[in-house]
Chain A
Amino acid sequence: MGEIQNIISIAFIGAGIFFIFVAGIGVLRLPDFYSRTHAVSKSDTLGVLLVVMGLIVFEGFTLNSLKLSFIFILVALSNPIGSHALGMAALKKGLKPVLGESKNKEEEESNVGS
């Protein structure tokens, strides 16, 4: 029983650290503020939830796992709400997003013309 618990816990924590690493790369490399909030709110939340789920599996049914499930619910609610609040504040202050030239529009027009 303990071996299976350890293996499931290691799998969850490894996957969570991978998603946290992806979120870090997204914060570093994405070109715009709004796309960076995308990286922080989704990928980072998934990584943290996977690591906390792995710790709950490792702990079993105790008082500590109840507190860890409180952290699970709190992070799942608070992290997207915080990122959304920051994005809304930036939109109200008039921060312009970076918009690239879309090549698809020309293709659509050529398709319509033909």
Chain B
Amino acid sequence: METFFLGAAILLTAIIWIPVYRVVKGPTIFDRLVGVNAIATKTIVLICLIGYVYGRIDMFIDITLAYAILGFVGSIAIAKYMTTDKGEF
């Protein structure tokens, strides 16, 4: 079963490279922000799978919770900042 988790983690790592193109190439800044949001969401799953591969899910699950909350707060804060007069695209 650890082999399956390792294969899934490798496949997910390959998938994470797809939105990086949108982050680098995106025409406006909102496209880049959407790419960063997609990468953060996929990283939540990747940390869970790495925890099962190492067999120490009781430690990695706390890191996953903290990462999920930080990604959500960062996305909301940047969206709130972009609505003000300072944010330009």
Interface residues of A (CB under 8 A from B): 6, 10, 13, 16-17, 20-21, 23-25, 27-28, 33, 36-37, 40, 44-45, 47-48, 51-52, 55, 58-59, 63-64, 67-68, 70-71, 74-75, 78-79, 81-83, 85-86, 88-90, 92-93, 95
Contacts and interface: CB of A to CB of B under 8 A. Distances in A.
A64 B61 contact: yes
Contacts of B64: 71
B48 A52 contact: yes
Interface residues of B, number: 44
A47 to B, nearest CB: 8
Q: Nearest 10 A-B pairs (CB), nearest first? A: A24-B18, A78-B72, A82-B75, A85-B79, A89-B82, A89-B79, A90-B30, A67-B61, A27-B19, A89-B83
Interface of B: 1, 4, 8, 11-12, 15, 18-19, 21-22, 28, 30-31, 33-35, 37-38, 41-42, 44-45, 48-49, 52, 57-58, 61-62, 64-65, 68-69, 71-72, 75-76, 78-80, 82-83, 87, 89
